[in-house]
């Protein structure tokens, strides 16, 4: 219903902000991670929103980038995960860290979120493991990863580097994060990506 709200950041709380536009102040629930990134009160801000209707309330959930909003909606598709739980997960894990946790089946990382137990974390992984891609864990969707052959080769090389690091004894999460930090990997071989990744694991 409301894709985003752009206006003046009028008030801030730990988990909520008020954005004023057109003479109306919109109360928006935000994640803890986004709270740390807020500009000063009085600044212009653009917040991507999700409108939720309950029996007793109508609530707006907001995110500073579209990628985070998409991950929020994906979490809502998991059985037993509501808006509050999804916001809790995104308050302790960035979108990319959440993808790393899902792809490496790191339920402990997801279970660190408030109100999320071991069973719920495992359910998130089970239901979303086929809905997130390794390519998205390396680059945000907003950067529009190219679908050409070169991009495909690059993704394959990164994938092989992750598997090689895992074989060396590093966890899947550690391996994914290390490979994602390698810059200018477009023209690198698997061996070069692997060598560069090891620097982030020492």
Report the C-alpha gap between 14 and 193 in whole angstroms: 40
Give pLDDT, residue 54.
Answer: 84
**Residue 78 DSSP SS3:** coil
- CATH code for 67-137? 1.10.150.20
- 4-64 shares its CATH topology with 146-202: no
Q: Which residues pair with 63 in a beta bridge?
A: 48
Instruction: Read off the DSSP letter of residue 149.
Output: H
Q: Report the predicted TM-score, pTM, of the whole model to 2 decimal places.
A: 0.71
Across 22-162, the runs of DSSP E, i.e. the strands, are 24-29, 44-53, 58-63
Question: How is residue 27 written in tokens?
Answer: 């109360």
Write down the domain spans for the chain.
4-64, 67-137, 146-202
Report the C-alpha gap between 63 and 159 in whole angstroms: 30
Is residue 11 within a helix (H) or strand (E), and if so which, with residue range? strand 4-12
Which pLDDT tens digit goes with each residue over 76-121? 999 999 999 999 999 999 888 898 889 888 899 999 999 899 999 9
CATH level 3 topology of 4-64: OB fold (Dihydrolipoamide Acetyltransferase, E2P) (2.40.50)
Report the C-alpha gap between 12 and 8 in whole angstroms: 11
Q: How far is CA 86 from CA 25, 124, 179, in A?
A: 24, 10, 27
Mean pLDDT for 48-57 is: 91
Is residue 98 within a helix (H) or strand (E), and if so which, with residue range? helix 95-103
Which pLDDT tens digit goes with each residue over 144-185? 333 333 444 456 777 788 778 877 778 767 777 788 788 776
Phi then psi for 77, rounded to 5 degrees?
-75, -10
CATH level 3 topology of 146-202: Helicase, Ruva Protein; domain 3 (1.10.8)
């Amino acid at each position: 219903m409301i894709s985003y709200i752009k206006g003046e950041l009028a008030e801030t709380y730990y988990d909520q902000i008020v954005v004023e536009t057109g003479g109306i102040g919109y109360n928006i629930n935000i994640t803890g991670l986004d709270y740390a990134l807020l500009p000063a009160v009085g600044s212009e801000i653009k917040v991507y929103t999700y409108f939720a209707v309950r029996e007793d309330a109508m609530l707006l959930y907001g995110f500073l980038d579209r990628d985070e909003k998409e991950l929020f909606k994906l979490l809502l598709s998991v059985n037993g995960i509501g808006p509050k739980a999804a916001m809790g997960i995104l308050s302790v894990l960035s979108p990319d860290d959440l993808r790393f946790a899902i792809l490496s089946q790191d339920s402990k990382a997801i279970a660190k979120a408030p109100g999320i137990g071991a069973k719920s974390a495992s359910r998130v992984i089970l239901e979303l493991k086929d809905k997130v891609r390794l390519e998205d864990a390396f680059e945000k969707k907003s950067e529009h990863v190219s679908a050409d052959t070169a991009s495909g080769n690059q993704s394959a090389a990164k994938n092989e580097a992750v598997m090689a690091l895992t074989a060396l004894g590093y966890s899947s999460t550690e391996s994914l994060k290390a490979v994602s930090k390698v810059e200018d990997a477009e023209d690198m071989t698997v061996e070069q990506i692997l060598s560069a990744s090891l620097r982030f694991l020492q």
